[in-house]
Amino acid sequence: MSGHSKWATTKRKKAAIDAKRGKMFTKIIKEITIAAREGGGDPNGNPRLRLAVDNAKAANMPADNIERAIKKATGELEGVTYHELTYEGYAPAGIAVMVEVATDNKNRTVAEVRHLFSKSGGSMGETGSVAWMFDRKGIVTLPLQDKSEDEMMELSLEAGADDLQKEDDFFIIQTSIEAFESVRKAVSEKNITVDNASLQWVAKNLVQVKGEDAEKIIKLIESLEDCDDVQNVYTNADIIEELTKD
């Protein structure tokens, strides 16, 4: 898949750890809250909320948590107002980084993100400084299950997907923004389990990095993802693992 980084594998492994300590739930609740506030509390009439709720269920979030987040967003319960922002910057070796945040305090968040960039030898950029290196795409991630790659490729392309790739124990479907919902619906109608479905920033071209630069980039990404206000981090880095000699 064009622009798909090997970092995604590492992110999924880290996501499993995040879920255990509640980090994943926090991110999903923020997404549900924002979606419900902007488009109303009925998932049937709010595609973004329906997607967020589906992802919450896929992550085994309790129904009470989902309902409470929606009620806070619609004013039935007292809640926090989150602002969505995207920061851009450079990691070591000139690697481009996009950081999506949801925050109730913009000043706190931008200061923390800038500090993390600087601490890792990178730098914050102006709006638009690296966004041109990415395309906004729909990504649907599925466990392999009992479907062959040919079956999934045919189903995906018929529904309007751009591409499908097999990676480790997952199929990863890439779509345009316009085709994202139809592809996701086509998969769901076949009763195929969806691990995650979301709109993401996909790098147009990857830049290979290894050694010390790779270590610094991984450290930056991990520190950003550990930030409470950060929802997602995207880069154009293709991390190359170097084999160590005995």
Per-residue pLDDT at 224: 94
Containing 233, the helix (H) or strand (E) segment is strand 230-235
Instruction: Provide the token pair at 1.
Output: 């898949």
Number of Cβ atoms within 10 Å of the Cβ of 84: 13
Per-residue pLDDT at 3: 45
Q: How many structural domains comprise the chain?
A: 3
Report the percent of the chain where pLDDT is more than 90.
64
Quote the CA–CA distance of 94 and 160 in Å, as a whole number. 34
Q: CA separation (Å) from 216 to 64, 95, 222, 235?
A: 40, 11, 10, 13
Per-residue pLDDT at 5: 53
Indicate whether 189 and 224 sit together in one domain: no
Indicate whether 37 and 158 sit together in one domain: no
Determine the longest span between alpha carbons in the chain, in angstroms: 62
Indicate whether 171 and 117 sit together in one domain: no
Highest mean pLDDT among 23-27, 103-107, 148-152, 186-190: 103-107
- Those residues with Cβ within 8 angstroms of residue 30's Cβ, 6 or more apart along the chain or in another chain: 82, 102, 231
Residue 22 lies in a domain: yes
Q: What is the mean pLDDT of residues 36-41?
A: 92
Burial of 132 (0-12, 13-18, 19+ CB in 10 A): exposed
Question: pLDDT band at 173, cuts 50/70/90?
Answer: very high
Check which CATH number belongs to the domain holding 218 and give it. 3.30.70.980
Q: What is the mean pLDDT of residues 182-209?
A: 90
Question: pLDDT band at 82, cuts 50/70/90?
Answer: very high
- Give the domain extent around 109: 83-132+204-239
Angle, helices 211-225/106-119, rounded to nearest 10 degrees: 160
Question: Is 27 a residue whose pLDDT tops 80?
Answer: yes
**Measured CA angle at 8 (ends 25, 209), to 5 deg:** 135
Indicate whether 216 and 105 sit together in one domain: yes
Indicate whether 213 and 226 sit together in one domain: yes
Question: Is 162 a residue whose pLDDT tops 70?
Answer: yes
Burial of 145 (0-12, 13-18, 19+ CB in 10 A): exposed
Indicate whether 13 and 54 sit together in one domain: yes
Quote the CA–CA distance of 165 and 204 in Å, as a whole number. 16
Check which CATH number belongs to the domain holding 62 and give it. 1.10.10.200
Indicate whether 190 and 142 sit together in one domain: yes
DSSP per-residue string spanning 29-47: HHHHHHHHHHH-S-GGG-H
pTM for this entry: 0.84
The residue ranking higher by pLDDT, 17 or 166, is 166
Q: What is the mean pLDDT of residues 39-63?
A: 91
Residue 195 lies in a domain: yes
Residue range 103-128, pLDDT digits in tens: 999 999 999 999 999 999 999 999 99
Indicate whether 101 and 217 sit together in one domain: yes
Residue range 215-239, pLDDT digits in tens: 999 999 999 999 999 999 999 999 8
